[in-house]
Structure 1
Amino acid sequence: MYDINQSQMRKAFACKPIILALAALFTSNAFAEETNIEIAPVAITGNPLGVDSDELIVPVSVLNGRELSLRREGTIGETLNGIPGVTATQFGPNASRPVIRGLDAERVRIMQNGVGILDASSLSFDHAVSVDPLIIEQIDVVRGPAALLYGGSAVGGVVNAIDHRIPKEQLDGITGRAETRFGGPDNTRNGAAVVDLGNGQFAIHADVYKRKTDDLDIDGFAVSKRKSEADGTPRENRGKLVNSSSDGDGGALGASLTFDNGYAGISYSTMNNNYGTVAEEAVRIDMKSDRWDVASEFTDLGNVINRVKFRMAHTDYEHVELEDGEVGTTFKNRGVEGSFEAGHAPIQTGLGNLNGVIGYQFSNTNFEALGEEAFVPGVNSQSHALYLYEELPIGNNEKTQHKITFGGRLGHTSVDSKDNANFGIGQNNSFNPNSFALGGLYSLNEQWSLTGNLSHNERVPSYFELYANGAHIATGQFELGNSNFDVEKSNGIDAQIRWKQGKNSFSLGAYYTRFNNFIGLFDTGEIEPVENLPVAQFRAVPAVFKGLEAEGKFNVANNLDLTIRGDYVHAKEKRTNEYLPRISPLRLGAGLQYQLNRFSIRLDALHAFKQDNTAENELATDSYTNVSALVAYKLPTKLNLELFAKANNLLNDEIREHTSFLKDISPAGQRSLLIGLRGDF
């Protein structure tokens, strides 16, 4: 269960400098006494009907409250790395997207408050995600296809970062949190604070954060021994990952009118991030993203339509790549995305009451790349889709629940490139992706249940898969797209067995996904004569992804909990029977947590096995064991303050994530200690 105080779901205020952020917490005259409560694990993502995560068909992991606070890392990818089925691209410590079940980039949809983020992070591994974990209040991770509700780019899964920047509930008073951290392998110095205040009808939210890091400390050389032996790359830069520092900040203001049956609100947020790209010692990225959000939801409306929800975001994203301080290439992405959803009242059937929603989703974005390293033209992308999701509970026994879920999505998308001197006359492509799913949950008894999900998913090729034609320096390749691609089609099955009794729980799941035409970037074996780079081309090939996931939590003694987890992915191209690149190896992990009064101690170990099931021209990675420890102490004050210390990589292993494009030149940090203070009211 999650340990939170009575104000957990609506937290707020901060000041930009770290000291002022803490001062906001200490000087408030509206502190509440600490009250620890237990709440059910609730997943906002993955089910539009708002059921608990225990009742979802698809596997969902939820991080919030104290658990999220103590787990935060510098990126969304690293914050989630280690959850069963989830790894990270790890292009150095500053750019890392989640990888779910071996799928990344355009197959994992990253959202903020239920609306897709708009940046350039899927275009290139060195581009950071435009969401900072410091201000996030909850992260939902859907493992497996969620294309019905969120589009074809969710064929691998969904990561939804929730920040409560638009208050959704009535608030009479003030709530907030503040947090600061120092240390770690990158000598991080960061702080964040958020506040919400309201008078019962009108609520205001504010947050602000500041993050600064130095170059990452590593044990040994940045270049792996395997790479040096394979191509003669010298092993230099011992002890430091050169050009991996960062300096970022951001904040937001939001407000909403709240009612007994809903809310309507608006927010504005900004984010700045300047960081080194690791792959090129003289290149830094200076990123800025401004976003406006509008959202509303009303319930208990009537006997036909009983709920409506509207969400929309406009984003203005830009980053420049600085080469020795001079602007080299500029990437821009501007656009709007939103959805309107209506839920119908329960419909009585012979088996039970049918509940569901119908929704409309839309987006319109304009991407531009300007400069010497612009390997894709300007592109306008527009999409429209209708979706339906229905649940049919079966039986009236509250102790054993059964249900069937089904739904579909019909869409139309256009991806049109613009005329460009380097890319020629613009091209127009349009697609009609359609997806369908059928799932079920069967309760064997009060403790045991089975879930299963069948899905057909269609994904529209991304703009860079269609139109790329140039040198991509970050990956060291000359990339070629294919404007003749059709929609990427896949069929999958996902099943889980779950057990829960009191505080103890366990789940074991398996999945199998077959792609008719998996679009991947493959080395052609040729060298582009002008840029002198290996040529890589996007091709569509049949492929199969299959794997296992397990996790459990057990109360083994008073105040002592044991957690276990594990995952395995196996991915091959079917035509040649070759392994696909950057697939995570088998991982097994376990942890112990002891809590007594104000003290909490946690010890975790994650072992990743050697990965030698590699693609052509891909190097293997050795096994590693990452042992970490956490000690936390709640201070004996009227304020709800907690002091904590985190030790990472205690064995000082050389950790190279196989999912990372830079695994052979950018290892994870060495053994380190981080100290922090968090508090809420």
Structure 2
Amino acid sequence: MLAFSAQAQQENETPDALPGGALAPVFVTANPLGSTNLIAPATALYGDALTFRQTNSLGETLNGLPGVSTTTYGPMVGRPIIRGMDGDRIRILQNGVAAWDASSLSYDHAVPQEPLTIERVEIVRGPAALLYGGNAIGGVVNTIDNRIPREPIKGVTGAVDASYGGANDARAGAALVEGGNGRFAFHVDAFDRDTSTQRIPGFAHSDRQRALDGPDANEAYGSIPNSDGRWHGGAVGGAYTWADGYAGLSYNGYDGNYGSVAEDDVRLRMHQDHVAFASELRNLSGPFSQLKFDFGYTDYEHREIDNGETSTTFRNHGYEARIEARHRQIGPFEGAVGAQISQNTFSALGDEALVPTTQTTNVALFGLEEWNVTDAFKLSAGARYEHVKQDPVANGNDRFASATDRDFNAVSASLGALYKLSPVWSVAGNAAYTERAPALYELYANGPHDATGQYLIGNPAAQKEKSVSTDLSLRFASGPNKGSVGVFYSRFKNYLTEFNTGRLVNDDDEVVPPGTDGALNEAVYRGVRAEFYGIELDGRWRVFEKGAHQVDVELVADYTHARDIDNGEALPRIAPLRATLAVDYGYGPFGARAEMEHAWAQNRVPDNDLPTSSYTRLGLILTYKFHVGTTNWLAYVRGDNLTNQEIRYASSVVRDIAPEGGRSVMVGMRTTF
């Protein structure tokens, strides 16, 4: 997939490129003070760069950005991984608050967010637990839309997106309309995405997996069985805006139906309803100059259907509310304090219930302060306290009869500094201590999950996960030339992760011999001492400019090393060293980009995992912008994996049975008015 530079996009795109009173290029996720000069490593993606990256899942859309990889479970499923951390360590937010789903529980559960309807994605790499809780210990992905208009809108604006192609013949489209009279504003959008079975360059199972399958196994070739799917949904919202704030309400619905690539007869059908309220008050008198409030309520359900019969129903419903108050300057300090409360109830009902019905309650207080010591030197410090309670109910299921309530008090603190070495060079550093309470499935899982071919076992006595993290980066910015190189290190006590035991079991967790119908891989959650370290590089340079002709060269690379400190064994699902070299050419309305991505082999895997081979992927995109009356148009043709490489992500739990797509061409059109 082509990986346009988010950093360059953030600098070069204007907010007017987004319809409907678009967002200013201020990073709202990483800093409630509205700073444009962040200490934390962060990336923003919006405008044309987001359009060109859009795929069938949020994870694949962001895959290849510095430090970001993805889980996959076929072409319809992908959840972002940041610096080797996934699941409950990466907070996926919608406009700053949770939109509950089941994507962190299991790799086959999709994130119910359609990239076509997102206006902006903000990614914070490294611990963001200070602002968003212990389950942001690895980072935050915040998708932002304009379903609640935050700025006045006069008249009517809108956009239409349509595309066709790719390795699974995806047919995708979205439309939005916004309007207002300068006070009242409304937003309406709808989307639909329909895909066929994904084409691949060879066998679905890898060479190593086919050797384990045996000579008599029926091996799929040329496509991945049961990899088709469809998403559709829409939203409506409105707001009242004034000079010093706004208040609004929105509703969005999401439906999905897709196959499990691990089981030919299993389909997953999901539905999500999400209601949000947001308001901001600015230029207040008194001790606080600004108040911001966000609230979201979500009702989510998905059913796993085996041979036409519903085997398990997953439900997750709850709310999250968050208030931030920016105080007036106290001496040299500028800062904000806030509170957050959330409660959600998760249940897995049916023959394959793998966790008990569990209510999770989280109450937190946090604060962040900044001190501009000099024009060149800035310090930041913050802290967060949160109380987490897990309350399971067995509902008559003997597997969960021993599950008991757990309470956790988690504390996080961070320090950061930014120093400008010169007008174009700066250095930034961060240090953080973070605590994370175990997720419900890490505590209470005890059951089969046919969609992933596993029997999952939690650790009901698990303790808090604790980490100390640091990062240091050197940054450069001069006109169109921008870049950064950074290193990071995190050390964990009681890092909870899923390990394959190497045993094959049945639905009752009884050992069975290889080849048994319905055999499952037993996996357990285990806490270990762990460390993560690595490097991230992101740079873009203008190498030629004459008249309307421009040529930019871009280089993105990252590497993460993760291991169990006690035995030196590699942690599972870590992306290898990756590097992407791209050349962008622009001439008036015409644009072209050629890209080469190389991922090295990943041989550092746990004992019961299989390694992945290296690959080199080539991509090309051609664009043309034009006007018809008062409408603006963007047409593009995108070619991916042009050399038809067999690509298996080391970060995918199904890498040995479901590779990424083969050679493909996509055509797309976007218009705004």
* Aligned pair partner of 2:414 in 432, 437, 441: 437
- What are the equivalent positions in structure 2 for 1:77-156 lying under 5 Å apart? 77-156=59-138
Q: Do the aligned residues in 1 keep the contact of 2:482 with 2:541 (CA within 8 Å)?
A: yes
Q: Does 1:404 align with 2:387?
A: no
Q: Does 1:490 align with 2:473?
A: no
Q: Do the aligned residues in 2 keep the contact of 1:124 with 1:474 (CA within 8 Å)?
A: no
Q: Which amino acid aligns with 1:284?
A: R
Alignment-derived partner of residue 621 in structure 1 = 612
RMSD: 1.6
Alignment-derived partner of residue 477 in structure 1 = 454
SS in 1 for 2:441: helix
SS in 2 for 1:464: helix
For 1:141 and 1:235, locate their aligned partners in 2 and report how far apart those are by CA, in whole Å: 42
Task: Report percent identity of matched pairs.
Answer: 43
Q: Which amino acid aligns with 1:239?
A: G
For 1:419 and 1:466, locate their aligned partners in 2 and report how far apart those are by CA, in whole Å: 13
For 1:391 and 1:158, locate their aligned partners in 2 and report how far apart those are by CA, in whole Å: 21
Unaligned runs of 5+ in 1: 13-36
Alignment-derived partner of residue 366 in structure 2 = 387
* Aligned pair partner of 1:537 in 512, 524, 544: 524
Q: Which amino acid aligns with 2:654?
A: L
Q: Does 1:642 align with 2:625?
A: no
Alignment-derived partner of residue 43 in structure 1 = 27
Alignment-derived partner of residue 349 in structure 2 = 370
For 2:521 and 2:207, locate their aligned partners in 1 and report how far apart those are by CA, in whole Å: 22
- CA-to-aligned-CA distance 1:277-315 (integer Å, 9 cap, x gap): 111111111100000000000111025200000001000
Q: Do the aligned residues in 1 keep the contact of 2:20 with 2:179 (CA within 8 Å)?
A: no
CA drift at 1:8: 3.6
For 1:321 and 1:524, locate their aligned partners in 2 and report how far apart those are by CA, in whole Å: 25
Q: Does 1:195 align with 2:195?
A: no
For 1:636 and 1:360, locate their aligned partners in 2 and report how far apart those are by CA, in whole Å: 47
> Residues 247, 534 of structure 1: CA spacing in aligned structure 2 closer, same or farther, 3 A cutoff?
closer
- What are the equivalent positions in structure 2 for 1:12-27 lying under 5 Å apart? none
Q: Which amino acid aligns with 1:406?
A: A
SS in 2 for 1:70: helix
For 1:323 and 1:524, locate their aligned partners in 2 and report how far apart those are by CA, in whole Å: 26
Q: Do the aligned residues in 2 keep the contact of 1:10 with 1:167 (CA within 8 Å)?
A: no
* Aligned pair partner of 1:357 in 336, 357, 361: 336
For 1:40 and 1:555, locate their aligned partners in 2 and report how far apart those are by CA, in whole Å: 25
Q: Do the aligned residues in 1 keep the contact of 2:266 with 2:451 (CA within 8 Å)?
A: no
SS in 1 for 2:202: coil
CA drift at 1:117: 2.2
CA drift at 1:527: 4.4
Alignment-derived partner of residue 664 in structure 1 = 656
Alignment-derived partner of residue 262 in structure 1 = 245
Q: Does 1:677 align with 2:669?
A: yes
Q: Which moves more between the two structures, 169-178 or 1-10?
A: 1-10
SS in 2 for 1:82: coil
> Residues 412, 6 of structure 1: CA spacing in aligned structure 2 closer, same or farther, 3 A cutoff?
closer
CA drift at 1:546: 0.4
Q: Which amino acid aligns with 1:149?
A: L
Q: Do the aligned residues in 1 keep the contact of 2:268 with 2:303 (CA within 8 Å)?
A: yes
> Residues 670, 534 of structure 1: CA spacing in aligned structure 2 closer, same or farther, 3 A cutoff?
closer
Q: Which moves more between the two structures, 297-306 or 106-115?
A: 297-306
CA drift at 1:525: 4.0
TM-score of the two chains, using structure 1 as the length reference? 0.93
CA drift at 1:477: 2.5
CA drift at 1:521: 1.4
- CA-to-aligned-CA distance 1:630-650 (integer Å, 9 cap, x gap): 101113523201111000001
Q: Do the aligned residues in 1 keep the contact of 2:99 with 2:297 (CA within 8 Å)?
A: no
CA drift at 1:651: 1.2
> Residues 4, 403 of structure 1: CA spacing in aligned structure 2 closer, same or farther, 3 A cutoff?
closer
For 1:10 and 1:339, locate their aligned partners in 2 and report how far apart those are by CA, in whole Å: 27
SS in 1 for 2:382: strand
Alignment-derived partner of residue 317 in structure 2 = 334
Q: Do the aligned residues in 2 keep the contact of 1:7 with 1:175 (CA within 8 Å)?
A: no
- What are the equivalent positions in structure 2 for 1:592-631 lying under 5 Å apart? 592-631=583-622
Q: Do the aligned residues in 2 keep the contact of 1:418 with 1:425 (CA within 8 Å)?
A: no
Q: Do the aligned residues in 2 keep the contact of 1:552 with 1:563 (CA within 8 Å)?
A: yes
Q: Which moves more between the two structures, 631-640 or 463-472?
A: 631-640
Alignment-derived partner of residue 198 in structure 2 = 216
For 1:246 and 1:209, locate their aligned partners in 2 and report how far apart those are by CA, in whole Å: 14
Q: Does 1:452 align with 2:429?
A: yes
Q: Do the aligned residues in 1 keep the contact of 2:262 with 2:453 (CA within 8 Å)?
A: no
SS in 2 for 1:239: strand
- CA-to-aligned-CA distance 1:474-499 (integer Å, 9 cap, x gap): 33222211111111000011110111
> Residues 317, 668 of structure 1: CA spacing in aligned structure 2 closer, same or farther, 3 A cutoff?
same
For 1:139 and 1:6, locate their aligned partners in 2 and report how far apart those are by CA, in whole Å: 14
Unaligned runs of 5+ in 2: 1-7, 513-519
CA drift at 1:172: 1.2
Q: Do the aligned residues in 1 keep the contact of 2:19 with 2:672 (CA within 8 Å)?
A: no
For 1:265 and 1:10, locate their aligned partners in 2 and report how far apart those are by CA, in whole Å: 18
Q: Which amino acid aligns with 2:632?
A: N
Instruction: Give the count of matched residue pairs.
Output: 646
Q: Does 1:555 align with 2:539?
A: no
Q: Do the aligned residues in 2 keep the contact of 1:448 with 1:498 (CA within 8 Å)?
A: yes
Q: Do the aligned residues in 1 keep the contact of 2:343 with 2:362 (CA within 8 Å)?
A: yes
Q: Do the aligned residues in 1 keep the contact of 2:403 with 2:444 (CA within 8 Å)?
A: no
Alignment-derived partner of residue 4 in structure 2 = none
Alignment-derived partner of residue 463 in structure 1 = 440
SS in 1 for 2:60: helix
Alignment-derived partner of residue 302 in structure 2 = 319
Alignment-derived partner of residue 564 in structure 1 = 555
For 1:235 and 1:450, locate their aligned partners in 2 and report how far apart those are by CA, in whole Å: 56
CA drift at 1:326: 2.0
CA drift at 1:42: 3.1
Alignment-derived partner of residue 515 in structure 2 = none
Q: Do the aligned residues in 2 keep the contact of 1:224 with 1:235 (CA within 8 Å)?
A: no
Q: Which amino acid aligns with 1:268?
A: Y
CA drift at 1:523: 2.7
Q: Do the aligned residues in 1 keep the contact of 2:188 with 2:236 (CA within 8 Å)?
A: yes
SS in 2 for 1:66: helix
Alignment-derived partner of residue 590 in structure 1 = 581
Q: Do the aligned residues in 2 keep the contact of 1:222 with 1:235 (CA within 8 Å)?
A: no
> Residues 40, 626 of structure 1: CA spacing in aligned structure 2 closer, same or farther, 3 A cutoff?
farther
TM-score of the two chains, using structure 2 as the length reference? 0.94
For 2:583 and 2:13, locate their aligned partners in 1 and report how far apart those are by CA, in whole Å: 20
SS in 2 for 1:220: strand
For 1:645 and 1:331, locate their aligned partners in 2 and report how far apart those are by CA, in whole Å: 39
- CA-to-aligned-CA distance 1:327-368 (integer Å, 9 cap, x gap): 2211000000110111101122xxxx3111100001010111
Q: Which amino acid aligns with 1:389?
A: L
CA drift at 1:5: 6.8
